[in-house]
A and B are shown apart, each in its own frame.
Chain A
Amino acid sequence: MSVDIQTVKKVASLARIAISDDDAQRLAPELSNILGWIEQLGEVDTSSVQPMTAVIPNTLRLRDDVVTDGGVRDDVLANAPQAEHGFFAVPKVIE
């Protein structure tokens, strides 16, 4: 799969990583190269194979409906770049 600059920009935007035109120019052949290599997987006949769901046979454990957590606002906000009045603050969002 050859990835063009537009695709690189689109993917970077989906991933919320700002990239310059130069970055995109550099990344396009790099990603193409990696994706081209990955594509050899297409050779494998997997028509009768189930995708792996659990690496080691194990089932999901469920917990009891008990309040055991929360009430730790200071911990929650301790590392915030901007916290005000008990909230995280971000640039104003217009919905």
Chain B
Amino acid sequence: MVVSEMTMTDSTYRIQGATGEWEVVIGLEVHAQITSKAKLFSGASTEFGAEPNSQVSLVDAAMPGMLPVPNRECVRQAVRTGMAIDAQINKWSRFDRKNYFYADLPQGYQISQLYHPIVGEGVITVTLDEKDPNSATKEIGVERIHIEQDAGKLMHDQHPTRSYVDLNRSGVALMEIVSRPDMRSPQEAGAYVRKLRSILRYVGSCDGNMEEGSMRADVNVSVRKPGDEFGTRTETKNVNSVRFVMAVIEQEAQRQVDVLEAGGKIVQETRLYDPDRNETRSMRSKEDAHDYRYFPDPDLLPLELDDAFLEECRASLPELPDAKRARYEGELGLSAYNAAVLTAEHETARWFEELAAAGGDKVTAKAAANWLLSDLFGALNRLGKGVEDSPVSPKQGAELLALVADGTISNTLGKQVFEIMLETGQDAGTIVEERGLKQTSDTGAIEAEIAKVMAANEDKVAEYRGGKDKLFGFFVGQTMKAMAGKANPSVVNELLKKALG
């Protein structure tokens, strides 16, 4: 085994081998389940988690004489996705059959698109260090997006000598999004998958739920000496999390370097990732596994899209993350970091915009952004919840922020009120009202408390007046405490300064 070490300087990722540095070349084929009620070529439901074979039509089971009829929504979502990455939309495309035998493939072929995909060249811009929004960006080419059917599911653990076939997923619509081999590090690949998932969620064409298999990546990895030709690649199939994608690249690149440096050759093959052992292994491949005998599906005529259809697709696209982020920075004056974090996920941006809209003139965008990213996210983190199932609604959040903004409650009180909101689900106004938490600017009441504080701490008053400025904070704290936190801090400051002289 060759001892090596991985380094990451900016975007230059190198594997140090015994013979020098190696560069990793990565391409990803992401399978994304298209959000639709019914399957691509049949009217059976796509709902997740149903009883085995209960969401299967005779078409999905490939009964004799059954024919496919495509679902318009699946076509529409693929087109919208293509538009979202500025890709070429092919008004003329068609479906091909990919022929192979497997128990999860009832027809003996997968209906896919090889020769004429619906979406051609596009691009996805990724930020290399997502924690630093000012870090460099990189454009990853997307070669194509095509529509195809998902296969069924095989269960191997239910019977000692048999595998069981469930066709519920058979025929569910997928988009296969094929990148160019433009990525050079696990980080880039991770950033690409996250960005792609973000775009799909904005567009609404895929829920991006990797746990339920809505998004899986085939990871193509090769290594080469920097500047050399591409090396032979392997394809690791069905990797179902961003973390695993990155792990596969690390493991597979290292394995390839080891093989090559030991004088071996990389075999072009399909591999599987075993997350428990964090390693990839060769799938027992048949000699003919790669002869798929693609040809145009004679059951399906060419798919021709008219201008009205394309126009509707374009018009229905939402503002996409990059544009939104630029607008948050430019128009709303948010920091680059805040804009990046708020727009990374569609749900966050949606929540933020509802919060800002509900806050109206009373709440600044900055205040809303800060509160969302620190207070709300902090709370959600603690609760282990996503923004989509936040116990506090954007409207409730806006009310809270407005109470802080107009001085009804202090910042500190605002945080307390928020905690109570999380616990009780009550509105901020109700909590402030019922618990008497209103902030006071009543100068008489504050002056009276200041007088008491000064009387009780004559020594400190003397010290302060003798030049120990730092003690000012002590008087503020004492006064606020005496006011049970409800005094307006700026009024307290002002009156204290006057009283202490």
A81-B44 Cα distance, complex, nearest whole Å: 23
Q: Which residues of chain A come closer than 8 Å to B167, judged between CB atoms?
A: 76, 88
Q: Given A65-B74, A70-B55: A92 and B161 within 8 A (CB)?
A: yes
Contact of A87 with B43 in the complex, beta carbons under 8 Å? no
Q: How far, in angstroms, from A82 to B165 measured CA to CA in the complex?
A: 11
Contact of A14 among B37, B51, B154, B293 (CB under 8 A): B293
A60:B101 contact, CB within 8 angstroms: no
Closest to B59 in A: A69
* Total inter-chain residue pairs, C-beta < 8 Å: 140
Contact among A10, A58, A59, A86 with B53 in the assembled complex (CB-CB below 8 Å): A86
Q: List 21 A-B contacts (CB under 8 A).
A: A14-B293, A59-B304, A60-B300, A60-B301, A60-B302, A62-B71, A62-B72, A62-B75, A63-B43, A63-B71, A66-B43, A67-B37, A67-B44, A69-B44, A70-B42, A76-B167, A82-B162, A86-B51, A90-B165, A91-B162, A92-B163
For A69, the chain B residues whose CB sits under 8 A away are: 38, 42-44, 57-59
Q: Are A66 and B164 in contact (CB under 8 A)?
A: no
A19 at the interface (CB under 8 A from B): no
Q: Is A68 an interface residue (CB 8 A)?
A: yes
B156 within 8 A of A: yes
A86 to B70: give the CA distance in the assembly, Å. Answer: 27
Q: Is the CB of B53 within 8 A of A76?
A: yes
Are A67 and B162 in contact, with the CB atoms below 8 A?
no
B52 within 8 Å of A (CB atoms): yes
Q: How many Å from the CB of A71 to the closest CB on chain B?
A: 6
The answer on a CB contact under 8 Å between B56 and A70 is yes
A: number of interface residues (CB 8 Å)? 38
Identity of the chain A residue whose Cβ is nearest the Cβ of B53 in the assembled complex: A73
CB distance from B52 to the nearest CB of A (A): 4
B426 part of interface (Cβ distance < 8 Å): no
Residue of B nearest to A53 (CB): B302
- Is there contact, CB below 8 Å, between B165 and A65? no
Task: Collect the chain B residues with CB atoms within 8 Å of residue A63's CB.
Answer: 43, 69-72
Judge if A72 is at the interface, Cβ distance under 8 Å.
yes
Report yes or no: A93 in contact with B103, Cβ–Cβ below 8 A: yes
Given A62-B75, A92-B162, output 10 extra A-B contacts at Cβ < 8 Å: A14-B288, A16-B101, A60-B303, A66-B38, A67-B45, A69-B42, A89-B164, A93-B156, A93-B163, A95-B283
Query: Given A85-B158, A89-B163, A91-B163, is A75 in contact with B69 using a C-beta cutoff of 8 Å?
Result: no
Contacts A16-B101, A70-B44, A92-B163 given: A58-B57 contact, CB under 8 Å?
no
Most buried by A among B53, B56, B61, B272: B53
B161 to chain A, nearest CB (A): 5
Q: Are B58 and A75 in contact (CB under 8 A)?
A: yes
Is B500 on the interface with A (CB-CB < 8 A)?
no
Picked from B103, B291, B301, the residue with its CB within 8 Å of the CB of A54 is B301
Closest A residue to B173 by beta carbon equals A65
| Docked pose: A86 CA to B56 CA in angstroms | 12
Query: Counting CB contacts under 8 A, is B296 at the interface?
Result: yes
- Is there a chain B Cβ closer than 8 Å to A2's Cβ? no
Chain B contacts for A71, CB-based, 8 A = 54-55
Instruction: Enumerate B164-179 residues with CB–CB distance to A below 8 Å.
Output: 164-167
Minimum CB–CB distance from A67 to chain B (whole Å) comes to: 5
- What A residues does B57 contact at CB under 8 A? 69-70, 72
Q: Nearest chain A CB to B158's CB is how many angstroms away?
A: 7
Q: How far is the CB of A24 from chain B (nearest CB, A)?
A: 16
Question: Nearest-CB distance from A94 to chain B (Å)?
Answer: 7
